[in-house]
Amino acid sequence: MPPEIAIILIFAVAMFVQTSTGFGSALIAMSFLISLFGYEVAAPLFAISFSTVAIVITYRYRHDLKIKNVWRMMVTGVFGVPIGVLFISQLDSTIILFVFGLIVAGYALYALLGYTPPKLKHTGWQWGLGFLGGMISGAFNTSGPVYIVYGDSQRWQPFEFKGNLQILFFLNSIFTSMNHIAVGNVTQEVLGLWVFAIPGIVIGISAGFLMDRFIKPEPFRKIVQVLLFIIGITMMIP
């Protein structure tokens, strides 16, 4: 399959899942992008691509956002991003694949088992998990698992869950993109592929916004989680 067509399909599927469930685009897109193009291209490509659409998704769920519940995570996440970008540049590609696969498979297993963490009441959790989420965003564009676990612990309602996560994803993606640009990771190759990501993004979010009222969230989420678990395990095997 030509890489241009692959890019369109990857982003269409990833953004459909993101708009339907509120998360998951990075786990799906990065899994395939790393396999096809390597981490050096995949990370900045997804970062700038998601920044393109994050503001649209955030605006969609603006009425469900509760800033008071996430502002601390928003602040510390920004500081974690550059550390993640710098840290990942020191790792071998084999280690990067294993660690990313571990994150994907670990989150999928957590979700499939239906484990609900105890409520994390102390505000220190928000500061710390916000910073950790920013680091993982800078390294892998995948802050979702950290924020999802925290959201689960707070027992947020579905729409508040989506709204709160989107603002965190939006800020992390913007600062991750800025850091990739600053260290020279956004090359001509990345920009060339980004052009083909745009139609995939448009297709994915349009279909997601159209279908999210008809899709039963739980069965759909389970299917995505099973696929992510399989993908994660595959990436961990050399």
pLDDT, one tens digit per residue, over 75-122 is 999 999 999 998 888 888 788 888 888 888 888 888 888 877 888 889
Q: Are 51 and 102 in contact (CB under 8 A)?
A: no
Task: Please name the residues in contact with 57: beta carbons below 8 A apart, sequence gap of 6 or more.
Answer: 18, 19, 166, 169, 170, 205
Question: What does each C-alpha distance from 112 to 65, 194, 222 come to in angstroms?
Answer: 26, 33, 7
Torsion-angle region of 23 (φ positive above 0: left; ψ -120 to 50: alpha; else: beta) = beta
C-beta of residue 46 within 8 angstroms of C-beta of residue 11? no
* Per-residue model confidence (pLDDT) at position 33: 94
For the entire predicted model, the pTM comes to 0.85
Which CA distances in Å does 57 have to 26, 49, 50, 133? 14, 13, 10, 19
Q: Average the pLDDT over 15-34 and give the result.
A: 85
pLDDT at 238: 66
Q: Which of 53-67, 84-98, 129-143, 154-168 is modeled with the greatest confidence? A: 129-143
According to the model, what pLDDT value does residue 228 have? 82
Per-residue pLDDT, 217:
65
Question: Are the beta carbons of 20 and 222 closer than 8 angstroms?
Answer: no
Q: Do 106 and 46 meet the contact criterion of CB atoms below 8 Å apart?
A: no
Residue position matching structure tokens 């994660």: 232
pLDDT band at 172 (very low <50, low <70, confident <90, very high): very high
